[in-house]
Structure 1
Amino acid sequence: MRRHADGDLAEGNGPEEVETLTREMMSSGEVMSWPKEWAGLVVDKHSTGGVGDKVSLVLAPALAACGCKVPMISGRGLAHTGGTLDKLESIPGFNIHQSAAQILEILGSVGCCIVGQTESLVPADRVLYDLRDATSTVNSLPLITASIVSKKGAESLSALVLDVKFGRAALYKDLDSARELAQSLVHAGNLLGMRTAAALSCMDAVIGRCVGNSLEVMESLETLKGRGPEDLMELVTTLGGLLLQMTGSVSDLSEGRRKISDAVIGGAALSKFQAMMEAQGVANETARSLCSAHSDYYSVGEPVNHSVGAELLVSLGQRVSKGASWLRLHFETPRPTADQIARLQGR
């Protein structure tokens, strides 16, 4: 591959070359296999990252409640984008390290799990990422495509949906470049035999209201209890509806969205989330307390650390009067100094 001075790969790295690279990376380690009776039901979602992006925490159990198997392999925070694994580890006992055998067992009993990448899954990706960093090709479209799709291919998915972000807080700032990435990812995923689709979503504002690992878990739990923000539910039902449509579980997107919404509003997704927590190491009492209808997250104490994060008190486009509060910060002791508070208020 030829590289220009700006880090972009030269033209001429066409779909065939990207497919070959992706396939070889996928085959560099373990490729998961599933029982025959799960054929057509193993699905996953990937997001290119954002602020307050807690979609996976609601979507995975909702899909499981609809009969899918969701071996969701997620990542940690990168730069300003939050990581799903970091959020879940704010729940004491939640173990994101699961072997292939353990993943199979959890999928069989619960239907979903959210785990980190195993050492044996696409080891070439870790090597190539270090090389990309050294050669200033981290933002190369073909290499981004191969990195993302190879890991999903190693999950042996039936269907994959991609949430490709654009906007001020996204990797790609404009719609056209995000669309180009989406097309590249969809093409590569389909070539590997996964039914692949993408949704383009704006990342100019926080998803939901909360930012911060434990705060985002709390907002996800509130959403699973039917009390979530509209923008978060919009993404959950759209992405989930697409996956249900691709698996043939529903006839169209509208039906898929209704089915995902019913799983959340009716409490089936919450039950799956509780079962997933327990299967991944969270104490039964803690999981039940967090998922109870009137859980007092403050009194739970250790299971959800409420001390760090930000909570938006207004929505994008809402008129704010001078002097009105628009942001609440949650912090650990010691309290911020008067100088720090003045600097924050002066922004």
Structure 2
Amino acid sequence: MSTHFHVSGTGVTGPLAGLSSNYKWWVLVTAIFGAFVSILDTTIVNTALPHIQRAFGSDLHVASYVTTAYTLAQGVIIAASGFLANRFGIKRMYLLSLALFTLGSVLCGIAWNINILILFRVLQGASGAALFPLSLSLIFGAFPEEQRGLANGIFGIPVLTAPALGPAIGGYLAEYVDWRWIFYVNVPIGIIGIVICWRMLHESELQPTLPFDLRGFLLIASGLGLLLFGLSNLAYDGWGSGLSVTGPVILALLLLLLFIPLELRTARPLLDVRLFQRRNFLVGNLISWVAVASLFGSTFLLPQYLQVLRGLSSYNAGLLLAPQGLAAMVG
């Protein structure tokens, strides 16, 4: 959503042009740190959920919000990431996002009840929402056009393995250390990423007069948030629940339908929906959606099945999912 940044075929334009050839590799390293921890945290919690349930005496429905609250917050905030980076600077927003994400990880680790943990997960998800799209923009801005494929390939290895390796890492920490360390593990990674970003990256050209499509943001943020909320409750409450499933889903679809004609009439839209008229763009997005939904869906459901129904430990359940990470690296 609105994650367009000004790049050229030879890398960053304006004040960042002509930087040393080493600079682009430092950008790639920084991008990997931020994207890895953000994506890792979508799945590292899954194998630790039974431990969190026992620690706080909650049921699976409530405990599942530890995972879904993170995704909900990301879905709402990510729409504004492009505007914020263009308006205030991509380095500044990346640093702020990574710093707040790291702080949110610490707060999740010290949570004293399930409701506070869910609240801190919202903060963590909202803070880290911009990390992945900004990482891609940093890479596209630093690398010339002929090297972007190589950079994306290197970037994709840790990014694709993070959601699959998350259950194994989370299972080991929950089983043999403490479930709180599934959040603390982000802290050293985040600090290293912050230091590299602060010392090595250069700020992009600002656009202080860039207008913000507030109406479009409110529509898509509330629409995606309600849709994710309704679908996350479907397995527990069923379609018969108007307050937690049917109502939010219907309202979400109406808001998203309103979003399309609004963006078509807006001079500087949050999302240029005309892009979906391009066949390759549309097909590429559909394939990506199916791939991501399959990967993230399985990494949530399989740990619960293996632990609750098959009686495996958190670590063994996570190990059974580890081959997905190897397959993602090869693919």
TM-score (norm. length: structure 1)? 0.25
More strand by share: 1
Determine which structure has greater relative contact order: mean sequence separation of CA pairs < 8 Å that are 6+ residues apart, divided by chain length. 2
